[in-house]
Structures are given as structure tokens and as C-alpha cells.
A = this chain, B = another copy of it.
């Protein structure tokens, strides 16, 4: 009874694929969200298992058990998050949309408008190009108006969020000399690899060591590249090297761009502060700052610091986020808040955990 009263007025939320890191992070954020109630969380392999048995951190906060996807009554939800492998969301999208359910996909099914590029990188056909055309790329700071009325959100990859929010003010104003490539040297905590049984991300393999990976080609390269071209309104050369760092959460992109002549003259610090002054989750740090990833641990903040290098005419950008929050589940909840008219920070006022 109490529960029902408490939930009246709340939207009903479903989560498909709740056993990975983006799934459990959605649970962490949504379990105390004042305007949403989780009504279903599915897992094919763990149906019947209480969620809090797999994730004891949720004891007292989540009473649900995982349900089999076929019995989950997802069409009763107001919104369904897909925290699944690539390809799952597009297989279920039409049924949910027909039932009036909004859909936020944390995988890649609705991120790349060019289905040929999708198919090249994800090795599967895109089965609902019509829905894809209506889907909105879910970075609210870039596409808030579209998010408001979206039925389907392609929630961005973790790396793209850092690179795109880092570069948007420059690209929007045409302040980069695009004759030189943009270089993004990105570093991610190991949780970015997901909660999958693999040797390469074992503690004894990935602790006290680091490496670059995906240098010859990473799936976030075409995603970022496509968005950069949209922001620049022209072609862009882009070099992207991700690195695996021995920390659980956290992402830092160090971005090197050649400034245009105008870019060299302008007060870029002021430009960034103005561009993001009303953005609750984007923190333009004071000039000269050196953001640490832990300064956003567990929170939806993204922090940006600018370093102009006069002798070369380059700008170095430092952008940090929690890859599981602003880089995934937090941004998804932010999108949900916008889609349902809630205050954008509802349920997302988590002070970063430091130390």
C-alpha cells in the first residue's frame, strides 16, 4: 500500500540487461530517483535471482528479482533502458514504440545514422533504419531540444561524450584549423570493458600496468568522427587512441587541436565558460586546472580544462568524466529526465566520492 502511494505519479521504468556495469549503475541512480520506479529488470541468464543477491550494494534499495525478458511486461513501462549488447535494442524497439514506451539504448544501435558504418563496425545488419532516422543522439548539452521530444535515444559511448563536449565550443565557432588532425588520446578505467569474463581484464592482468588498445580501429572512432563532422559542418581528420588504465571508473581525454588564427586570438576560457554557463553537469574549470578523474567519481559531472600552448598554436584540452555515469548510465537518466519533463538533475545530485 505504502509503496503504491509512494509510486503514484512516478513513471515506470524497465531495464533490459541488468547484470552489467551500466545496468547496475542505472539501478544505483534510479533506486533513489524520486520520480521514477523500477518495475522490471531482465536477465535471461539470471531470471529469478534477487538483484541484491548479485549486487549486495543494493540491499535495502532494490527489492526486485531479475525477470526473464519474455515475461517482463516491458510494454507497461513508460520508458525502457537497454543495457545490453549491441543489437538487442533494435530487435525490440518497434514493439515498445507501438505500445507508447520510450526507449533509451545504452548500446550502439541508435548512435550511428549511417547504417553502412554501423554494419562495418558492429558486424550485424541494422534491422530498423526507420526508427534509427528518428532516434536522437543523447548528449543533452548538444541536442537538448531534440531529446525533449525523442521517442528513442541513442545514448552516446563513453569516449564520445568527453571528446564532443570538449570540442563543441571550438567547432561550433569554427576556431580549429582543420588542416591538421584532431588528436584524442583517451584513457579509461577498466569498467569500460564491461562485466564480462575475460582474461585480459582480470585484476592480475590489468592491475599495475597500462596499454593502448584499438589503435588500428575502435568502434568509438566512427561515432566521434561522425559527430565531429556534424559540429564542424565539414570533414575533419581525427586520430583516436584509447588506453586502458588500472582504475575502476574514470575517463580522461587529452585532446590536441591546432587553433585557427581567430582561435589563437580569442579568450577561449571565457568562450567555454559562456558556452556552458547554464549546463549543470559541465564544469569549465579555472584556467590551468589539472582535473583528476576521481573528482567526478560516481557523479554525472564532466570537467574541462584548457591549456593553450602559445609556441605551437595548439590547444590541449583535458576532459574528465566517470565513464559509467556521464559516460553511460547518468547521461541516460539525464536524458530520461528531459524526456519526461523532470528537472534535469533529478536523482543525479550525487557528490563525487573522494577519496
Partner of A209, one of B190, B292, B316: B292
Set of chain B residues within 8 Å of A28, measured between Cβ atoms: 351-354
Set of chain B residues within 8 Å of A213, measured between Cβ atoms: 290
* A248-B204, A254-B241 as given contacts; A56 in contact with B295, CB under 8 Å: yes
Interface residue A140 (Cβ < 8 Å from any Cβ of B)? no
Contact with B along A105-147 (1 / 0, CB 8 A): 0000000000000000000000000000000000000000000
Does A56 contact B285, Cβ atoms closer than 8 Å? yes
Does B203 contact A201, Cβ atoms closer than 8 Å? yes
Residues of chain A in range 188-205 having any CB-CB distance to chain B below 8 Å: 189-191, 193, 195-199, 201-205
15 A-B residue pairs with Cβ-Cβ distance under 8 Å, sorted by A, are A21-B204, A58-B352, A59-B303, A60-B283, A183-B256, A187-B210, A201-B203, A203-B248, A204-B248, A207-B248, A208-B248, A210-B252, A212-B254, A215-B316, A243-B254
Q: Which of A190, A203, A239, A299 has the most B CB atoms < 10 Å from its CB? A: A203
Set of chain B residues within 8 Å of A216, measured between Cβ atoms: 288, 307
| Nearest B residue (CB) for A349 | B32
Set of chain B residues within 8 Å of A195, measured between Cβ atoms: 199, 202, 204-205, 355
Partner of A254, one of B185, B189, B295, B351: B185
Q: How distant is A349 from chain B, measured CB to nearest CB, in Å?
A: 6
Q: How distant is A190 from chain B, measured CB to nearest CB, in Å?
A: 4
Does B201 contact A198, Cβ atoms closer than 8 Å? no
A-B complex: 9 closest residue pairs judged by Cβ atoms: A209-B294, A57-B352, A57-B354, A185-B185, A190-B203, A191-B204, A211-B292, A197-B197, A56-B295
Residues of chain A in range 247-275 having any CB-CB distance to chain B below 8 Å: 247-250, 252, 254, 256
Interface residue A293 (Cβ < 8 Å from any Cβ of B)? yes
Does A209 contact B353, Cβ atoms closer than 8 Å? no
| Nearest B residue (CB) for A197 | B197
* A237-B312, A239-B314 as given contacts; A250 in contact with B355, CB under 8 Å: no
